[in-house]
Amino acid sequence: MSNPGEGDLTPIATTSQLAEYLASGCKTPDRFRIGTEHEKFGFRLGDLAPPPYEPRGIRGMLEGIAADGWAPILDNGQPIGLSRDGASISLEPAGQFELSGGLCRTLHETQAELAAHLAEVRPVAADLGLGFAPLGFHPLARRDEMPWMPKGRYGIMKSYMPKVGTRGLDMMTRTCTVQVNLDFASEADMVAKLRVSLALQPFATALFASSPFYEGRPNGLLSNRAQVWTDTDNVRAGIPAAVFERGFGFERFAEFALDVPMYFVYRDDRYIDVAGASFRDFMAGRLPGFEGQVPTMGDFADHITTIFTDVRLKRFLEMRGADAGTPAMMTALSAFWVGILYDGAALTAAEALVADLGPEALMAVRAAVPGAGLDAPWRRGTLRDLVQPLVAIAEGGLAARAHRNAEGADERIYLEPLREIAAGAPTQAEHWLARWHGDWAGDTRRIFAEAAI
Look at residue 5 and tell me whether its pLDDT is greater than 90: no
* 3 band by pLDDT with thresholds 50, 70 and 90: low
In order of 2, 80, 158, 168, the CA distances from 151 in angstroms are 11, 7, 11, 17
The span from the CA of 319 to the CA of 181, in Å, is: 6
In order of 29, 311, 341, the CA distances from 32 in angstroms are 5, 18, 11
What average pLDDT does this structure show over 34-59?
A: 98
Instruction: Look at residue 22 and tell me if it is in a domain.
Output: yes
The span from the CA of 364 to the CA of 269, in Å, is: 42
Look at residue 1 and tell me whether its pLDDT is greater than 70: no
Instruction: Look at residue 222 and tell me if it is in a domain.
Output: yes
Instruction: Look at residue 5 and tell me if it is in a domain.
Output: no
On whether the CB atoms of residues 184 and 316 are closer than 8 A, the answer is yes
| DSSP state at residue 262 | P
The predicted structure's pLDDT at residue 7? 73
What average pLDDT does this structure show over 308-318?
A: 98
Residue 133 is part of which domain span? 15-451
On whether the CB atoms of residues 313 and 194 are closer than 8 A, the answer is yes
Q: In the chain, how long is the greatest CA-to-CA distance? A: 65
Instruction: Look at residue 159 and tell me if it is in a domain.
Output: yes
In 106-241, alpha helices (H) = 107-127, 152-160, 168-174, 187-207, 224-228
Nearest alpha carbon to residue 166 among 223, 230, 262: 230
Number of domains present in the structure of the chain: 1
Instruction: Look at residue 338 and tell me if it is in a domain.
Output: yes
The predicted structure's pLDDT at residue 152? 95
408-415 contacts, C-beta under 8 A, 24 or more apart: 411/106, 411/107, 411/108, 411/335, 411/338, 411/339, 412/335, 412/339, 414/107, 414/111, 414/328, 414/331, 414/332, 414/334, 414/335, 415/332, 415/335, 415/336, 415/339, 415/391
Instruction: Look at residue 327 and tell me if it is in a domain.
Output: yes
The predicted structure's pLDDT at residue 129? 98
Tell me the pLDDT tens digit for each residue of 64-86.
999 999 999 999 999 999 999 99
Tell me the pLDDT tens digit for each residue of 145-179.
999 999 999 999 999 999 999 999 999 999 999 99
Tell me the pLDDT tens digit for each residue of 182-230.
999 999 999 999 999 999 999 999 999 999 999 999 999 999 999 999 9
Neighbours of 59 (CB within 10 A): 21
98's enclosing H/E stretch is strand 97-100
The predicted structure's pLDDT at residue 207? 98
On whether the CB atoms of residues 302 and 6 are closer than 8 A, the answer is yes
The span from the CA of 145 to the CA of 51, in Å, is: 10
Nearest alpha carbon to residue 16 among 255, 371, 209, 179: 255
Instruction: Look at residue 171 and tell me if it is in a domain.
Output: yes
For the chain, give the mean pLDDT.
Answer: 97
Can you say how many angstroms the Cα of residue 49 is from the centroid of all Cα atoms in its chain? 24
Look at residue 423 and tell me whether its pLDDT is greater than 70: yes
The span from the CA of 303 to the CA of 24, in Å, is: 17
Q: What is the pTM of this model?
A: 0.97
The predicted structure's pLDDT at residue 2? 57
Look at residue 38 and tell me whether its pLDDT is greater than 80: yes
Look at residue 292 and tell me whether its pLDDT is greater than 80: yes
CATH code of the domain covering residue 287:
3.30.590.20
The span from the CA of 405 to the CA of 302, in Å, is: 37
Nearest alpha carbon to residue 308 among 431, 171, 196: 171
- Is the omega angle on the peptide bond into residue 139 within 30 degrees of 0, that is, cis? no
SS3 of residue 381 by DSSP: strand
Tell me the pLDDT tens digit for each residue of 339-380.
999 999 999 999 999 999 999 999 999 999 999 999 999 999
Instruction: Look at residue 10 and tell me if it is in a domain.
Output: no
